[in-house]
Each structure stands twice: as C-alpha cells, then as structure tokens.
Structure 1
Amino acid sequence: MSRAARWWLLSDLHLGVSDDDPRRPGTVLPDFLRRGVLGASGPQQHVVFVGDTFELAGLDEDESLARLESILARHLDTFRGLEACAAGGVQLHFVCGNHDVELARPSVASRLSAMLSPLEPTRVRVHPWFLHVPQVLVAEHGHQHHALHRIPEVLRAAVNGTDELDLPPLAAWNAHPSRSRLSRAGAVARSCLASELAERRVREPAYDELLQTESLRLALDKAAVRDLARLSRFRTVSALPRTATRIVLAAAGRSTAGEKAPAAAGRFVRTLETYGSGVAWYVSAHTHRALESALEGGSARYINTGTWSSDVRGRGPDQSDRRAFPYAVVEVARDGATRGGLRYWRPDGD
C-alpha cells in the first residue's frame, strides 16, 4: 500500500495541573509520540486528539489561558514531545471536548498553537466541533449528542472569544460540589433553561451564518452542516431524568454507556452520505470505552478511542491491562483507499 497520509487518533487524556492519575497519561504520551509517531517513516503524519485532552472546563478566558500554560508546564515531557512533532512536520489537531471546550476560544487556540509551534503556528489546529477529512474520516468528541454535556452554540464561542460558555446540566451539577444539593439543583435548572434557549438560537438565521462559515472550513455542503448541527437536541423533559440516573449510577460506580456504536454515530454518517460526502471512518470518544465496530445502515467503520486516564470503562484490553493505551490509526493510500482500526500502545514497546 503506497501511503499518502497516516492519521493517529487518541482521546480523553484529561491532563490537568497535577499528575496524580495512576495511569499517568502525561508520562506515557511522550514515548508514544517519539517512538510511535516520529519513529514511523513515510507519509504525511497527523496526530488528532479527539477531545478532553486538557482539564479546562468552567473557566473564563483569562483562567483558561493560565490553566493551559500551567498544564503544559506541569507535563513538560508531553509539551516537548508535541513541540518535536510539530517541528518534525507532523500536523497536530485538537478537537474540542466537554472538558476542554475552552480551546474553541480564538485566544486560547492561538496560545496553544504559539506554544507548541512558535515558528509555524499552522502546524497546530483546533476544531471546535469536528474534524472532517473528505472521503476518509470524521472525528468528533461525541458530547454534542449527549444531552447532559451538549453545548448547542459551541461555534459562537469559536467566533467570539469573550462569550461565556453555558454549562450543560451535568457540568452545572458538578461545578460546585461544595454547595448544598438544593443550590446545585438550581444550577441544573438554570442550565436546562439556557440549553433550551440555545437550541432555539441554533435554528435561527443568525446561527446559520456561523454554520456557513464552518461549512467552508470543513469543506462540506452548507445544508449538510446545518443538518448535522440539528442532528441531536437538548430537551429538559428527557435530560433531567437522565441526569438523575447518571448521578445515581456514578455514585454506585456504574455507567449507562453501552458496548456498541451509539445511534448518533449512524445518523451522523448517513447525513454525510445523503449529501455525497460519505467517509470510511467515524471516530469519537467521550464514553471512555475503546471500541471498534461496523455502523448500521452505512459503510463506515466506527471507532471510539477510549481514554488514557484511569477512568476506563468497557471490556477492552485496557480494562484488564492498565498499561494498554487505546488509539486509532487510519492510513490513506495514494489512490484514496484506507485501512486501519483500533490499536493499543504499551510503554514496554509491545
């Protein structure tokens, strides 16, 4: 197979200002970048972080900038590994997740680019919604299809860096754990109302202008982008019971996530196919369950890149072997054919 490009995709590292995660993803990542990515010869290399790379959620613009710098300073080897990739010609992509949606702010995205690739900032790209590689793949974090974490107007933050990002219901509940249950319930109620209003604005002409701009960046038909923006929707009547269920199950150490591709993934891919923009791979994250499977009603393959943090869910090898770190690889031939799938990186080199 004569390769034209290779895409490496991983997610949910949840790098913060501390390094107390037992799996220590910030310690493993530099070796993956050095031996796995830079050590691979041949085609153009792309590394895609499919959301929740950093812990930035709930911060204003100035706090986000300061926190980002603190995180990279705390994980200095990761910082240097990313720098080396950019300097070596590797294209770095950061898809926003619900824990690092602040990267959608232009000022924060610019700071990340300047820090990782000061001589050529375009080597670092932030995707506030999803990454689209025509005919090859789409990669989105997945929280936009999850009512408890959905941020309907995420593109508005990408255009106006001073906008406050409304907290989705579950994030509103967790934002101030020291408060009383009544106070936190009130925060959830206000968040639900804000989300309902945001869903209305997403369907108004003003937001269509943002979608049109985004369609140019994504190289997709405007109508396709509009339909994708409306593919999922927050509804209080269903979100509140789910919030309660999620909280109860989380307290019991359980999860509501399933062991198969979510229905939203199939709807997303079929929408692309409707507009003649089908892809071979749909990659998402968010559930912390590494998974590869076929998608019903389409030809694309589904991959969930799981997590490099200790909050592993599902029944994959990374559950039984905490030294197995999931990622996806997609290789693109010069004739457009692709191959790849879910893989596991082990620091011992296996």
Structure 2
Amino acid sequence: MNRSARWWLLSDLHLGVGDEDPRRPGKVLPDFLRREVLQASGPQQHIVFVGDTFELAGLTEDESLARLDSILARHPEIQDALEGCAARGVQLHFVCGNHDVELARPSVAARLSSLLSPVEPAQVRVHPWFLHVPRVLLAEHGHQHHALHRIPELLRTAVSGTDELDLPPLAAWHARPSNSRLSRAGAVARAFLASERAERRVRELAYGELLEAEALRLELGGAAVRDLARLSRFRTMSVLPRTATRMVLAAAGRSIASEEAPAAAGQVARTLETHGSAVAWYVSGHTHRALEATLEGGATRYVNTGTWCSDVRGRGPDQSDRRTFPYAVVDVGLDGATGGGLQYWRPDAG
C-alpha cells in the first residue's frame, strides 16, 4: 500500500431478527463503533466484518432481502452507527460466512450498500470468499476449510445465492431440528453425496471462469487463486468420522476444543508466499475461539477474531468475562510496515 491505513476486524455477531442473545452484540457494537472507530483519527480506516455478521443463509432472493431489512430494522442503532462511519469515509467490508452467505447475492449486497451508505454506496463492499489487501492481509471467514460447513461452489452464491446449491452436511443436520435423528441423518447422508458432486463440478471449466474473474477482483494471480481454492476439499472418507464425533459431542453439549492456529492457516500463508503474494496477516473467524499466533515456517501472523455472541468456545478472557469482546487491528504505515494484533474491548472501559 502507498499510504497509511487502519483495519478493524471482528466477526461472528450472528445478528438476527430477534435480540435474545444474553451478550447483546446488537447493543454493544454501536458503542464500539462510536467510541473506537469514529473517535480515531489519522489514517484511512476500514472496518471488516469477517463473516457470520447476520443470520442470513439458505433463503430465496426475496426472503434474503426481507430478512436483511428486518435485521437492520431490529437493530437501528447498528444501522445508524455504520451509516455514520460510512459518511465519515470509513470503508465498510463484509466477508461472507456460512451463516450470511446470501450477502453475496448482487441484489442483497446492493441493498446492504443502500441501507448503510445511501449517498455513496461504494463505501460498502461485500466479499463472497475473502478480502485481500496486497502484502498486508487476507481475511476469510474460514468455513471453506471446515468440511462440515464447506460450500464447494461458493462463488456461485455471487450469481444466484444458494438457490441452486445444496446444504453442507452440518447445515443439513441443523436445518431439521424438530425431525427425528434418523430423518436428520438421512438429510446429512444426502448432503454428503451433494458435496461430493459439487467438488467434481468445481473442477470444470465453468467454475474455472468464476475463479479467474475472482482473481482479477482480488488482485491476485489466477494460479494463486486456483491453488487457494484447492487447499480444502470435501472427502467423504475423512469427513465421516469427524461428523460422527461432532454429533456425539453435540448431543452431550460439548464441542471440539483447539487452542492452536488451524493447519489451513499455514497452508494459505505458504500458498500466497509461493506465488509471490505473501501477506503480513491472515485473519479468520468461524470457530468462535479468539486467538493470535505466528504461523510456522513464515512471518505471517494469524488472528482469529472470535465471536461477539454468547457461544464463546475459546479460553481467552472473553470466556471468563462475557463483557469482553475480541477484535483485531492491523495498522499500516506509510512505508508499508504493519503492526497490531488481537485486542479486547469492554463497553465500560474509560
């Protein structure tokens, strides 16, 4: 980059049409935006929501538009604060997660822009897959590296949403909570087969054209984007035991714990480096475990931005103190040098 900038990154607010979450992310976020982002001065500022900002998945186009309208109407203070940020020149970025993949629809992305920045819609950008800032950072939600949530034909959501896509295995399980376990297991089995078929389709020419178009948007070489897309694949034989383990733990009210940077983070960093596109920071969310670490074999720092909802799964301070909210800051100097990392914010801080 040729000028200084500050990037604020947070994820997994899971804002819906209701406000039942005891942690009240919809009430906390506006205060954070006003007191931290709008009070900051100096470099160009960017806010990045690294996926699962909204509960917005598996809907038709009309349903997606109506749900987005309802969510922001339910949280007017968020809309006002984000609109204030955009009006002040703060660039707003929304990276799609598995819970808000419908944001990638052109009509839904346009609606979000018109609601948050009616005067200058370009102040709001939606990223179907990931956000890339050359030499500085790459931010993606992370569900593409989690086979149970992986959407093989992810870039098709920017064309037709999820109208023509099948649910990932875990989404198929949760989509039928009132059904019998046998019925839900059948839905998961069908989702397995659908994911296998989708993985074959992404190797065809039509999807390759979508990857080439995405490479231009991301300012990355086509070979680098293709290699990044190949890092994760759905493989039934390796996913089956993980699915069974996940379902057993879920029935017992437990989750799989991990306090280390995922292997995929290192693979992403090495792939970018191989193609001469190394970044200083790789940021993701999805796991609800806030974490910062140096990736083995390189200089890239990894940050997971955790969650602002009540489903905290890490062992950081936000687990013991639910009035503590994780986010990341990446500062870029005039010389291109970067600094920052994982931070925590308290609403009652001075």
Give the TM interval when normalised to the shorter protein.
over 0.9
2:89 pairs with 1:89: yes
Q: Residues of 2 paired with 1:210 and 1:159: CA distance?
A: 10
Q: Deviations over 1:325-346 (max 9, x none)?
A: 0000000001100000000010
2:5 pairs with 1:35: no
Q: In the alignment, what sits opposite 1:178?
A: 178
Q: Deviations over 1:193-226 (max 9, x none)?
A: 1111111111111111000000000000000000
Q: In the alignment, what sits opposite 1:339?
A: 339
C-alpha displacement of 1:161: 4.3
CA contact 2:59–2:163 (8 Å) conserved in 1: no
Q: In the alignment, what sits opposite 2:295?
A: 295
Higher mean C-alpha displacement, 165-174 vs 133-142 = 165-174
SS of 1:52's equivalent? Answer: coil
C-alpha displacement of 1:249: 1.1
Identical aligned residues as a percent? 80
CA contact 1:96–1:129 (8 Å) conserved in 2: yes
Higher mean C-alpha displacement, 58-67 vs 21-30 = 58-67
One-letter identity of the residue aligned with 1:96: C
2:268 pairs with 1:268: yes
2:212 pairs with 1:197: no
C-alpha displacement of 1:272: 0.3
Report the CA distance shift for 1:20/1:11 in structure 2 as closer, same or farther (over 3 A): same
2:69 pairs with 1:66: no
2:349 pairs with 1:326: no
One-letter identity of the residue aligned with 2:104: A
SS of 1:329's equivalent? Answer: strand
Q: Deviations over 1:47-95 (max 9, x none)?
A: 0000000001222221111111100000111111111111111000000
Q: Residues of 2 paired with 1:113 and 1:68: CA distance?
A: 11
Output aligned runs, 1:42-57, within 5 Å. Answer: 42-57=42-57
Structure 2, gaps ≥5 residues long = none
CA contact 1:323–1:346 (8 Å) conserved in 2: yes
Higher mean C-alpha displacement, 203-212 vs 321-330 = 203-212
CA contact 2:269–2:282 (8 Å) conserved in 1: yes
CA contact 1:107–1:161 (8 Å) conserved in 2: no
Structure 1, gaps ≥5 residues long = none
Q: In the alignment, what sits opposite 1:281?
A: 281
Q: Residues of 1 paired with 2:160 and 2:75: CA distance?
A: 29
Q: Residues of 1 paired with 2:78 and 2:285: CA distance?
A: 21
CA contact 1:23–1:310 (8 Å) conserved in 2: yes
2:259 pairs with 1:259: yes
CA contact 1:3–1:42 (8 Å) conserved in 2: no
One-letter identity of the residue aligned with 1:214: E
One-letter identity of the residue aligned with 2:122: T
Higher mean C-alpha displacement, 205-214 vs 58-67 = 58-67
Q: Residues of 2 paired with 1:20 and 1:136: CA distance?
A: 37
Q: In the alignment, what sits opposite 1:98?
A: 98
Q: Residues of 2 paired with 1:283 and 1:58: CA distance?
A: 25
C-alpha displacement of 1:164: 2.8
Q: CA RMSD in A?
A: 1.3
CA contact 1:257–1:287 (8 Å) conserved in 2: no
C-alpha displacement of 1:255: 1.6
TM-score, normalised via structure 2 length = 0.97
Q: Residues of 1 paired with 2:59 and 2:257: CA distance?
A: 27
CA contact 1:58–1:175 (8 Å) conserved in 2: no
SS of 2:82's equivalent? Answer: helix
C-alpha displacement of 1:241: 2.0
Q: Residues of 2 paired with 1:292 and 1:196: CA distance?
A: 33
CA contact 1:147–1:233 (8 Å) conserved in 2: yes
CA contact 2:101–2:161 (8 Å) conserved in 1: no
SS of 1:83's equivalent? Answer: helix
TM-score, normalised via structure 1 length = 0.97
Q: In the alignment, what sits opposite 2:136?
A: 136
Q: Residues of 2 paired with 1:166 and 1:156: CA distance?
A: 12
Q: Residues of 1 paired with 2:154 and 2:258: CA distance?
A: 26
Q: Residues of 2 paired with 1:120 and 1:219: CA distance?
A: 23
Q: In the alignment, what sits opposite 1:112?
A: 112
Paired residues, number: 349
Q: Residues of 1 paired with 2:289 and 2:123: CA distance?
A: 29
Q: Residues of 2 paired with 1:145 and 1:257: CA distance?
A: 16
Q: Residues of 1 paired with 2:35 and 2:284: CA distance?
A: 24
SS of 1:211's equivalent? Answer: helix
One-letter identity of the residue aligned with 2:248: V
One-letter identity of the residue aligned with 1:258: S
SS of 2:4's equivalent? Answer: strand
SS of 1:253's equivalent? Answer: coil
Q: Residues of 1 paired with 2:279 and 2:340: CA distance?
A: 13
CA contact 2:104–2:126 (8 Å) conserved in 1: yes
Q: Residues of 2 paired with 1:117 and 1:83: CA distance?
A: 6
